[in-house]
Amino acid sequence: MIDFDPGTAAPTKGTSQRNGGDLVVETLEALGAKTVFGIPGQHALGLFDAMGRGNLHFVSSRVENNSAFAADGYARATGEVGVLFLSTGPGALTSLAGLQEAYATGVPMVVVASQIPLEGLGARRKGMLHQLDDQKASAANVTKSQRLIQHASGIPSAIQDAWTEAISSPQGPVWLEIPQNVLLDPIMVPPVEDALAGAADNPPRVELIREAVRWLSTAERPAIIAGGGTRRGRAEKSLLSIAEKLRAPVICTPGGNGAFPWNHELSMQSWIEDRYMTDVLEDADVLIVVGSSLGEVTSNYFTFEPRGRIIQIDAEPRVLESNRPGLGIRADAGQGLAALDEALTASVEEGAAETTRSWHGVTPEVLVKESLAKVKARLESQDLARELKFMADIREAVPADMQTFWDMTIAAYWGWSCWDAREGQFHSAQGAGGLGYGFPAAIGGAVGLETVGRPGRVLAVSGDGSAMYSISELATAKQHNIPVTWLIVDDGGYGILREYMVGAFGKATATELARPDFVKLAEAFGIPATRVAPEGVGDALKAGFAADGPNVVVVETLLKMFAPTHLDG
């Protein structure tokens, strides 16, 4: 390791003495961590030195925010905890937008940030490099909790506790910070041999499930909204069973996309922003909302006015009844739906009379089919042939089991509603809505899939505006030969903002962008790239998927969004 003079923090000589950094690495490895994302920094050098003696695989990004997105993508793709190492001050602060997405979407992460030496803590302005009055306070809005570790002996327990909290529903990122000298100083603590962390149990209360069954036993028009918590809670099997028992139409939110079979006769897919679907949900006499707050997009921009009763299941107490009154059941979606499914089965076995499922004389299955046909007809009436073909060509090119990562771009907004995830997973930045998510998250996802022994090739989709947020990660992809195919849809600016402004004000301001030649830029990093017309996107993606390592496909086209139905009337 590198030994440091405590007065100057300058490297002096090598030694084999273990330090606090070793305890961090050993504990993470004992908990099952295999990969870490981040960027080295002066106060964190003890941590990185220790990592050189361990078995963690380190992926070095070029911007800390992208490191956070990568750890997020790793966790989403694998179901494991993402681990992020940060340096002090500017490095830690730069990660916060990425952590906001993980926090909003419930992604389990353990974040280890370095800190200035102990003697500088407590708001004493010593003028130390990177010094903040209270660094962890900056993370309070974007992490579940924050811990400052002041002694090496406390490192293993603190990390174990943070890991437990990260995987306990509602899942999310947990922040720890360790001062420079605690990471560097020699320790007497023996090597960490084992560390255990189990998710805290979060089942529903029995009387609430009993009441929900009572409501559903007399419902004629039950329906289900499946949010992102459904996927996080691995509740897909229970959701399918409940839907079929109740013959209840199911619609998925953008975060819940993939939680219910796309072509099932009860699937309203993910057309949550269409008024035809809003009409169906408003007409339900009992609506089950699982893993969703009924927020802006899910409520069709707060135009949703349900006439029936709502059963809301969510792991986060703050979500319950935050937008609509109802029977709030605090529970992990997996445990909540499993309990509800079991209770519904028992109710049938006890001889409860089966209620006829009829939507004013129409069966649920026919209602779903007719509603989807109405949505299709609406789209086909809006001169959207280019957009519909473009999305269909991408879907046809992407293997059924490939995971996809979408930035905040027009193609992704289409994807929220029209993307059939099949056996893959659909990941987007709709939780916090920040730009720059797609490519670095895909890098993390690809690394994660390869780490757990699965095919690593993934697709990232960005616009030219969002691509510039993460363009530096071409270096990361090249350095680690990561199998990511990056589709950049170049429309010369912030396309969705341009569309919003023209629609609202008649003209767009500050939405047009100077941008590079993305093909030449990728090639400058040593990454193969191609530019194709919209009609060539499918073949270009197939070629990229068949290649080794990273590659880029650029399509110059202006896509439009479908008309917003919440503004009708």
- The answer on pLDDT for 348 being more than 80 is no
The pLDDT value given to residue 349:
67
How would DSSP label each residue in 250-276?
A: EEE-TTTTTSS-TTSTTB-TT-TTSHH
DSSP conformation class of 483: -
The pLDDT value given to residue 423:
95
pLDDT tens profile 452-509: 999 999 999 999 999 999 999 999 999 999 999 999 999 988 888 898 889 889 999 9
Amino acid at 332: D
Packed helices 333-349 and 236-246: angle between N→C axes, nearest 10 degrees:
30
Structural contact between residues 78 and 452, judged by C-beta atoms closer than 8 angstroms: yes
Q: Label residue 5 by pLDDT band (50, 70, 90).
A: very low
Structural contact between residues 49 and 1, judged by C-beta atoms closer than 8 angstroms: yes
pLDDT tens profile 244-301: 999 999 999 999 999 999 999 999 999 999 999 999 999 999 999 999 999 989 998 9
Q: What is d(CA 436, CA 406) in angstroms, rounded to the nearest whole number?
A: 9
The pLDDT value given to residue 3:
39
Torsion over CA of 254, 260, 264 and 266, rounded to 10 degrees? -80
- State how far Cα 86 lies from the chain centre: 20
The pLDDT value given to residue 328:
96
Structural contact between residues 272 and 254, judged by C-beta atoms closer than 8 angstroms: yes
pLDDT tens profile 372-419: 999 999 999 999 999 999 999 999 999 999 999 999 999 999 999 999
The pLDDT value given to residue 223:
98
Q: What is d(CA 72, CA 486) in angstroms, rounded to the nearest whole number?
A: 18
Q: What is d(CA 118, CA 77) in angstroms, rounded to the nearest whole number?
A: 37
| Tokens 């490519």 belong to residue | 439
Q: Label residue 178 by pLDDT band (50, 70, 90).
A: very high
| Tokens 């030496």 belong to residue | 117
Q: Partners of 38 in the beta sheet? A: 60, 85
The pLDDT value given to residue 14:
43
- Give 497's contacts (C-beta < 8 A, 6+ positions apart): 508, 511
Share of the chain above pLDDT 90, in %: 82
DSSP conformation class of 472: T
pLDDT tens profile 293-334: 999 899 989 999 999 999 999 999 999 999 999 999 999 999
pLDDT tens profile 508-554: 999 998 999 999 999 999 999 999 999 999 999 999 999 999 999 99
Task: Please list the alpha-helical segments (H only) found in 233-383.
Answer: 236-246, 275-283, 333-349, 364-380
Structural contact between residues 533 and 554, judged by C-beta atoms closer than 8 angstroms: no
